[in-house]
Structure 1
Amino acid sequence: MLKTDVIWPKSRRFMSRTDWEPLGFFSEALCNATTFDIKLGFFSSSAINVLADGFAAFLYNGGRMRMIINDVLSEEDRTAIVVGESDINTPYFDLNAIGHISYTLSKHDEHFFECLSWLIRNERIEIKIITPKIGNGIAHSKCGVFSDGINKVAFDGSCNFSKMALIENIESINAFCDWDGERDKERINDIVRDFNRTFSGEDDTVKYLKADQIITYITKTYKYKDIQELLEDERRILHRRAENSTSDSIRRVLERAKAKVTAIMDTINIRKAKVKNEQLTTLTPKFPFTEPRSYQKEAFNKWKVSQKGLFAMATGTGKTLTSLNCLLEIYNKFKYYQALILVPTITLVEQWEDECKRFNFSHIIKVSSKNNGWRSEIDDIKLKESLAQSDDLPPSFIIIATYASFSRESSFKQLMSLSKKTQRQMLLIADEAHNIGAPNVISKLDRMRILRRIGLSATPERQFDDKGNNAIMQFFGCDGKYTFEYSMKDAIDNGFLCRYKYFPHVVRLNEDEMAEYKKISLQLAKFYNVDEDTFSGADDILMRLLLKRKRIIHKAQNKEEVFRQIIKQRFEECGNLKYTLVYVPEGVQLDSTVQYATTDNPIDDADVDKLIDKYTQIIQEISPTTTVRKFVSGIQDRDEVLRKFSTGETEVLTSMKCLDEGVDVPRSELAIFCASTGNPRQFIQRRGRILRKHPDKHIAIIHDLVVAPEFDSAEENYNMERNLLKGELQRVKDFAGLSENPAFAYTELEEITNYYNLSIF
């Protein structure tokens, strides 16, 4: 790493003929970086020869380069490109198809050419050739940025990138490290902005040159070598150069670079031994039960036609098993498996790992804020790729990542550093696939080369987000309909989900709440189109008003009394409150407008604990001996909490969203929805939590608190509120329709439906 593994001069200045040689700056930075952007002045192959110390180590780290160079090029540059293209079975840059811009690279030395060919074959280098628009000079900038995915180091200075300048002349380079404070960060950002402006073609002071036509057939000069061979060559070259150097300071630089490469080689040998051991102990993947259910087989048969698809399957119907069965079928055909699984939360990372192990899938890499070692595990995969012989099977692995980690640029680049071939072989499984439509995920999709894709969700559609929904359908190759659907009705009728009784309860706002609600409602009416039943207008203002409105509904005080009566009745009937889930009011967040993928460690509202404590207090007023645990983001013992709940040691779980997506709680028998939300996904997912089967559970009970403000028909916002309630009643209708006691819902809501002249039917 740039910050921790490199010793930097206090002055951050590198000068020839001192202990801090400019040559040392580049060798140290290359050995510890994963990306390198460089804007050169006068350029020659001998310059890259000097910069090549540590270059193979850079490749091993997953290195990617972008170069901006002037138009002074040598024949060796063109030869290097041809070498990279010589194997027609290996992906390479099509120079004539990328915006008519040349991609060239130079190297005087055979080792560098072999590294260069490797880069080109693996599409890890881009070069822009420029020349000034005015005058006969050449582009003469000399700056660049190294990054390891966490920290950045930029450089700027008088040093020309030629062998004479770096070794013979008295030259200097100033380095800027982003951990040195805001001023250095700004200097780095300035270099980054300048580089990106030129690289993106937005620099109107230069001309961008087309590549000369590349001769199609040239004798292959340099054989293809894998990374291990390149590292071995580099170690020998560094050793020989250090022995022959007449400068003590240069010799020390080369010795340090050799030590870095030697350490990498030692790591490779250890990992090779580990790979062999894994191969000896790996079990054969298989379906964990007798065979897949008929509908799981049907899902695979529909998916395999295009190997893209979106599975809209009710919560609790085995979406995980269905998708992993597709991966198993791939293994059965090709005898290896490679997958990237995306999930919303850390809890689901652990849950998916358990499911993968049930299939005997191994080599599982977990990418989240809890696992700091995953990057080296990705390096292991790349090492296995580089060591594989032509007749070897590709390495098998499964990567499980949270959407938050996946959408973080540094993590995304590391995940996508796997070879193009590997990405095309992989299967992407997107759990709770509506997260794919979030802007911070959508922005990554066009850079992903994974062709096999499965999206999973009980509720694939994103509310109020047509753009996100279109992106989801397009990404999973759906033409207007889902690839496979399995409804909650199907699951209940076929015995895969538990039967349930549904009890909605109408909750009124108190006098103060109603007054505040009406004031906000009048303001919202200005943004409401009755004919289209939609809001439109100034997003910020509208969003604030919707938040205020939702806050009142979430925290309606009369919910507490209704909740008290439900708990009291249950305790009197059963003598305990075991296996009870309580979704408490959510305070201030407007969940239906959240557009971004779930974070690893979401920050709950300031009053979360107060709200949960209030409902916990009501439970313990009814039964002081009842054990209650919070299930909220950030708790350290999630698995233990769920285990104790499943055995009855913990009788009641109170949650505020953390049980929405994918978390298994099959022993739950009673659910109380105190949280009011306009997002149908949350209710469907929460219903799915309570309907999971358990040998000792025969029927589930759901209580749903429905807030219904009352407006006089003469009020100008009456139609808006009537339509909003109509949406709530649609949800109640859906829930009641699949329940064992639909008549209760119709009777309970009869007064409010008559008041608004609505029908639950």
Structure 2
Amino acid sequence: MLKDLNIPKSYTYTSKDEFDPFRFHLECLMNSKSLDLLLGYFSSGAIRLLSIGFASFIHRNGKIRLAINIILSKNDRDVFEKGLEKNLPIDLIDVTNLKELKAKFSEYNTHFFECLAWLISNNRIEFVIITPKEGNGISHYKEGVYSDGVDKIAFSGSQNFTAYGLTENLESLECFPSWIEGNDDRVSEKAKRISATIEGKRQDVLNYLSIEEIKTEITSNFGDKEMDELLVNEKKLLTKVEKISGLPIYQELDEKLDEQIEELESAPRFPFKEGPRDYQMQAYENWVGNDYKGLFAMATGTGKTLTSLNCILQEYRINNFYKFLILVPTTALAKQWVEEASIKFNYQNIVLCCSENSRWEDDLFQVGKSLVFGRSTNYGIITTYATFKGNKFQNMLKEYFNNDFDIITLVADEAHNFGSAGFLKVIPNFISRRIGLSATPERQFDEIGNKTLNEYFSCSDDVYTFEYNMKTAIENGILCRYYYHPIIVNLELEEQERYLKISKELVKYIDPETGKYRESDYVNNLLIKRKNIIHKASNKLNSLLLVVNEIGRENFTKAFIYVPEGVEIDALKDDRISDDEENETSKLIDNYITELYNHFQLKMAKFTGETKNRDQILTQFKEGKLDALLAMKCLDEGVDVPQTKFAIFCSSTGNPRQYIQRRGRVLRMHKDKQFAIIYDLIVKPTIDHTNTDESLLRMEKNIFLSELRRLVNFAVLSENKDESLKGLESLCYDLDIDIYELANNELNNYK
């Protein structure tokens, strides 16, 4: 606190004395929360006095308000050159010419302007430019007021901020502590006048000039430093000053700087210098405004992970602690979240709880034990839905973390899992702060699940807490533009006969009142068999070979190929698939890889749930050592390869969650990619025009409509929308479907 300072009885600080101006500013910066300063003009002498301790001050959330005169006109320069102003510095700095002066700056000059640039970039400074209204002179005040929130100390030193004053000459600075009898009115009056100047209330005697050009000049030349770099630079400067003076105050600051640097090294931070995007901050504000509950419906590729971790970061900056629990569907996604949280955001004490970490119970126990013993502990827990709903995790969560339930933040990635029947028994209603993330939050054909989801995250079917759709993301340059090419695939005669035989059998089990199939194992088996005929249609591979041939071997690179699906994983039951299921998946992919290699000698790798060297494969793909990755579902979630240019969907799916995820993978922005290209293989409906069975025709139409939703969704946002829709006209005509009406309805969803 300022009141604790050892101030000379004369209230005067003299250069080269025990109480010198360096000491005054250093002690005040170390014990203040704010500084109002009328600097007059930038000069090396003035800056040197303020540079030591400046970074430490702003790191402690110190606030500065600054009024400054700068040389802007030829008349001003003439005044100086002709010596019409007394006591003016020979090292005056023209901030309209920083680019040229930067190379000549001392370390003190550079450090001061880097700190100033940081304040400007982070909106932590009030800054005005002033000149007198009358005459050719300039304003060269050298006074200010430090405040610790309770007490103030004002100072004046007009002559002593010259190049030699207070650094070479025996000059002095006067200070006026507010707690000394007789100074209170004087300090209040000075503080009031300085505030009026900074707040633009003295336009009767001062001209206020535009500051935007000056801010830009400072930030463009010096705005490349982070706070940790500023503190390290300040420590280097302090070491030099400390050797000369030997005063204890410098040792005290040295120790504080070490603490601040260590604190910054372990403190969370946003991973990109420019900070969160506006829409990511809007998501945070909406979440806070919704009582810290919310469902974020964000297109794949728009940064759902960053947005949620930023919410935790913003709360940390307010409360100075973080505690979070993140739920994800797969181990691959869990590992990616660990990397995002610990490496990018620098969150410490992250515990991975899933089958990938055999020690997760011990790791979680160590964190829980600290809480039980009353220690202040920051932590992040990242787990799969399957592990979370298990008895071991549930018991440990309730035994060790119950005191944190009101302050812990739960993030549910792919939040639609929350609404599933298998999760209802363990849904954590006891956790107050909640964020749900999904590109497609709505659960298909599950009214109860949707209601549960909306109630838990305190939103409605029509209005999510925050929404950032794909159309907006493409228009704003967050996702890249793309071309869409639907490819029609015909069933072989034998496949078509099997398909129709199953369909005719299924017609018998349609309930005439509901129009749905009656529930039975027999019906489910028939549906799976018919679905597999479409998924694994042999002509899909032939069509893929034609697509690659059309693109050209030399151009076909950076491609994702989704092969026909084998097995679907239930994220709530297990976070990995069995060996038998993995073998089936591998066989399907191996067949595609073999044919592609035989025809084009492509460099490829398969990417499945049990691929051991996933990171190595992704690195090779990014570096261009692989032309294509072939997968079923493992590229749906948690894979970030923005270089990807081509996506070929050989697996038919009417699940919006799945196809929106897949499109998002290829639409991520990259400097080497102007646009993406998507090919989509669609099996032609098996329409027999000689068949008069209306139930069969209606069934076929409903099946195709399910897949058509994907085609239209992709087409309407593509660069070649008209061409894509025209290619589907004939198919739709046969089934009496108006493709353009569907397209208009789809576009209306984005309004």
TM-score category by the smaller chain? 0.5 to 0.7
> In structure 2, the residue corresponding to 1:505 is in which secondary structure?
strand
Match of 1:558 among 525, 539, 543: 539
Match of 2:654 among 664, 668, 678: 678
Match of 1:355 among 319, 329, 340: 340
Match of 2:389 among 407, 410, 413: 407
Matches within 5 A, 1:315-394: 315-357=300-342, 358-388=344-374, 394=376
For residues 450 and 709 of structure 1, do their structure 2 counterparts lie closer, same or farther at Cα, with a shift above 3 Å needed?
A: same
Aligned-residue offset at 1:283: 1.9
Aligned-residue offset at 1:387: 3.4
Aligned-residue offset at 1:605: 5.7
* Residue equivalent to 1:493: 475
Q: What TM-score, normalized by structure 1, do the two folds share?
A: 0.60
Tell me how far apart the structure 1 counterparts of residues 513 and 724 of structure 2 sit (CA, whole Å): 28
Aligned-residue offset at 1:282: 5.1
Q: What TM-score, normalized by structure 2, do the two folds share?
A: 0.60
One-letter identity of the residue aligned with 2:328: V
Matches within 5 A, 1:414-433: 414-433=396-415
> Contact 2:409/2:433 (CA < 8 Å) preserved in 1?
yes
Matches within 5 A, 1:179-578: 283-289=266-272, 290-305=274-289, 306-357=291-342, 358-388=344-374, 394-445=376-427, 448-480=429-461, 481-528=463-510, 535-572=516-553, 575-578=554-557
Matches within 5 A, 1:82-101: none
> In structure 2, the residue corresponding to 1:607 is in which secondary structure?
helix
> Contact 1:311/1:483 (CA < 8 Å) preserved in 2?
yes
Deviations 1:434-453 (A, max 9, x none): 1222333222115x521110
Tell me how far apart the structure 2 counterparts of residues 309 and 528 of structure 1 sit (CA, whole Å): 39
One-letter identity of the residue aligned with 1:291: G
Question: RMSD of aligned C-alpha atoms?
Answer: 2.3
One-letter identity of the residue aligned with 1:292: P
Alignment of 1:697 with 2:673, yes or no, is yes
For residues 440 and 417 of structure 1, do their structure 2 counterparts lie closer, same or farther at Cα, with a shift above 3 Å needed?
A: farther
Tell me how far apart the structure 2 counterparts of residues 595 and 614 of structure 1 sit (CA, whole Å): 25
Deviations 1:529-561 (A, max 9, x none): 6886x5242242332222111110011111111
* Residue equivalent to 1:251: none
Tell me how far apart the structure 2 counterparts of residues 530 and 578 of structure 1 sit (CA, whole Å): 50
* Residue equivalent to 2:707: 728
Tell me how far apart the structure 2 counterparts of residues 323 and 298 of structure 1 sit (CA, whole Å): 12
* Residue equivalent to 1:601: 576
Matches within 5 A, 1:607-686: 607-624=584-601, 626-686=602-662
For residues 759 and 511 of structure 1, do their structure 2 counterparts lie closer, same or farther at Cα, with a shift above 3 Å needed?
A: same
> Contact 1:437/1:468 (CA < 8 Å) preserved in 2?
yes
> In structure 1, the residue corresponding to 2:552 is in which secondary structure?
helix
> In structure 1, the residue corresponding to 2:351 is in which secondary structure?
strand
> Contact 1:440/1:596 (CA < 8 Å) preserved in 2?
no
Aligned-residue offset at 1:302: 1.0
Aligned-residue offset at 1:386: 3.3
Structure 1 or 2, whichever has the larger Rg, is: 2
Tell me how far apart the structure 1 counterparts of residues 654 and 449 of structure 2 sit (CA, whole Å): 18
One-letter identity of the residue aligned with 1:695: K
Aligned-residue offset at 1:279: 8.4
Alignment of 1:580 with 2:559, yes or no, is yes
One-letter identity of the residue aligned with 2:685: P
Alignment of 1:747 with 2:732, yes or no, is no
One-letter identity of the residue aligned with 1:381: V
> Contact 2:283/2:296 (CA < 8 Å) preserved in 1?
yes
One-letter identity of the residue aligned with 1:474: E
For residues 450 and 621 of structure 1, do their structure 2 counterparts lie closer, same or farther at Cα, with a shift above 3 Å needed?
A: same
For residues 471 and 523 of structure 1, do their structure 2 counterparts lie closer, same or farther at Cα, with a shift above 3 Å needed?
A: farther
One-letter identity of the residue aligned with 2:369: L
Aligned-residue offset at 1:633: 1.1
For residues 530 and 488 of structure 1, do their structure 2 counterparts lie closer, same or farther at Cα, with a shift above 3 Å needed?
A: farther
> Contact 1:439/1:595 (CA < 8 Å) preserved in 2?
no
> In structure 1, the residue corresponding to 2:443 is in which secondary structure?
coil
Tell me how far apart the structure 2 counterparts of residues 407 and 748 of structure 1 sit (CA, whole Å): 47
Tell me how far apart the structure 1 counterparts of residues 422 and 724 of structure 2 sit (CA, whole Å): 40
> Contact 2:408/2:433 (CA < 8 Å) preserved in 1?
yes
Aligned-residue offset at 1:507: 1.0
Tell me how far apart the structure 1 counterparts of residues 267 and 583 of structure 2 sit (CA, whole Å): 49
> In structure 2, the residue corresponding to 1:464 is in which secondary structure?
coil
Deviations 1:301-351 (A, max 9, x none): 111121111101000001011101110121111100000011111111221
One-letter identity of the residue aligned with 1:402: T
Tell me how far apart the structure 1 counterparts of residues 571 and 383 of structure 2 sit (CA, whole Å): 16
Aligned-residue offset at 1:619: 1.4
Aligned-residue offset at 1:702: 0.4
Deviations 1:584-640 (A, max 9, x none): 0013x4x5xx7653732123365322211121122112222x211000011111111
Tell me how far apart the structure 2 counterparts of residues 530 and 457 of structure 1 sit (CA, whole Å): 36
> In structure 2, the residue corresponding to 1:599 is in which secondary structure?
coil
Q: Which one is further off, 542-551 or 319-328?
A: 542-551
One-letter identity of the residue aligned with 1:582: I
For residues 663 and 562 of structure 1, do their structure 2 counterparts lie closer, same or farther at Cα, with a shift above 3 Å needed?
A: same
One-letter identity of the residue aligned with 1:741: N
* Residue equivalent to 1:11: none
> Contact 1:491/1:497 (CA < 8 Å) preserved in 2?
yes
Tell me how far apart the structure 2 counterparts of residues 619 and 517 of structure 1 sit (CA, whole Å): 27
> Contact 1:507/1:708 (CA < 8 Å) preserved in 2?
yes
For residues 318 and 740 of structure 1, do their structure 2 counterparts lie closer, same or farther at Cα, with a shift above 3 Å needed?
A: same
> In structure 1, the residue corresponding to 2:739 is in which secondary structure?
coil
> Contact 1:631/1:655 (CA < 8 Å) preserved in 2?
yes
For residues 760 and 597 of structure 1, do their structure 2 counterparts lie closer, same or farther at Cα, with a shift above 3 Å needed?
A: farther
One-letter identity of the residue aligned with 2:557: K
Number of aligned positions between the proteins: 473
Q: Which one is further off, 682-691 or 598-607?
A: 598-607
